[in-house]
């Protein structure tokens, strides 16, 4: 049975997370843009701390949503 054919309470956490990320294009786009901005800012030594502030919350949210 495909993941999209299951009822939400039949999905495990991993399947539910990726079903949501696949459904919400705006969330995926927002997370991608924040990661891209953070990665570019980290490249410059003077702004690496600012890049960390962009990347760390995003990484934490993604990690916690997979658990």
For residues 12 and 7, give the distance between their C-alpha atoms in angstroms, rounded to a whole number: 11
CB 30 within 8 A of CB 57: no
CB 54 within 8 A of CB 38: yes
Q: Where are the domains of the chain?
A: 25-67
Q: Percent of the chain beyond pLDDT 70?
A: 91
Predicted TM-score (pTM) of the model is 0.62
Which stretches of the chain score pLDDT less than 50? none
Backbone φ and ψ of 21, nearest 5°: -60, -35
Closest CA to 43 of 55, 32, 29, 57: 55
């Amino acid at each position: 049975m495909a993941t999209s054919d299951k009822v939400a309470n039949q999905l495990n956490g991993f399947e539910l997370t990726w079903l949501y990320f696949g459904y919400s294009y705006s969330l995926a786009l927002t997370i991608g843009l924040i990661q891209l901005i953070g990665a570019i800012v980290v490249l410059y030594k003077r702004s690496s701390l600012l890049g960390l502030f962009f990347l760390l919350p995003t990484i934490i949210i993604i990690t916690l949503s997979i658990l």
